[in-house]
């Protein structure tokens, strides 16, 4: 049976979704869990770009190097390839629902839906703010990915 698969999605795939990808990769590694993990954006402005330098810095402070990641756009095949497509905010979730092909199998959710008491909340987009916004985003994606990992691994 193939490992569970998760695609994280934000707008440009240079801030929130690569941070979520990195957080889940690190959590899965610590748990010894084999998962297929990726990230993408609904927009195409940053295709092929590395994550924002502020996102790289906040990940590096957690001991994670995301400099090799490159932005890509969500494709129809992603809805067939991944078990879960997890949006960072309500607008991207709505966009994913709109573009999902009829034969897609991925379950769509918001990342913070997986955190008790945070269902329906968005991970704030730190792109136009200061470095402190990236710290808040890191805290949110870490909480969300840890909760998602518990869901994926099931009861002990």
Statement: residue 156 has pLDDT above 90: no
125 is catalytic: yes
CA distance 61 to 27: 15
Set 16, 72, 78, 89: catalytic member: 16
95-105 tens-digit pLDDT: 999 999 999 99
* 80 flagged as catalytic: no
Give the pLDDT score at 155: 66
pLDDT, one tens digit per residue, over 117-136 is: 999 999 999 999 888 999 99
The one catalytic residue among 10, 15, 54, 89 = 10
For the chain, domains (ranges, CATH) are: 5-153 (3.40.50.2300)
pLDDT at 134: 96
54-59 contact pairs (CB < 8 A, 24+):
54/15, 54/126, 54/131, 54/134, 55/14, 55/15, 55/18, 55/19, 55/126, 55/134, 55/137, 57/131, 57/134, 58/19, 58/131, 58/134, 58/135, 58/137, 58/138, 59/18, 59/19, 59/22, 59/138
Q: What is the pLDDT of residues 16-56, one digit of tens each?
A: 999 999 999 999 999 999 999 999 999 999 999 999 999 99
Pairwise CA distance, residues 5 & 138, whole Å: 21
Annotated catalytic residue 10: yes
Q: Which of 38, 78, 89, 125 is catalytic?
A: 125
């Amino acid at each position: 049976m193939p490992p569970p698969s998760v695609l994280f999605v934000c707008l440009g795939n240079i801030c929130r979704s690569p941070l979520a990808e990195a957080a889940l990769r690190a959590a899965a590694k610590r748990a010894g869990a084999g998962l297929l993990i990726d990230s993408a954006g609904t927009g195409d402005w940053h295709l092929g770009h590395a994550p924002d330098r502020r996102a790289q810095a906040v990940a590096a402070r957690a001991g994670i190097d995301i400099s090799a990641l490159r932005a890509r756009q969500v494709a129809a095949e992603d809805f067939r390839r991944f078990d879960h497509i997890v949006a960072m905010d309500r607008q991207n979730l709505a966009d994913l629902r709109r573009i999902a092909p009829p034969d897609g199998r991925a379950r769509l959710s918001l990342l913070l839906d997986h955190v008790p008491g945070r269902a329906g909340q968005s991970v704030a987009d730190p792109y136009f703010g200061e470095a402190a916004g990236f710290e808040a985003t890191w805290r949110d994606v870490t909480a969300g990915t840890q909760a998602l990992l518990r869901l994926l691994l099931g009861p002990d």
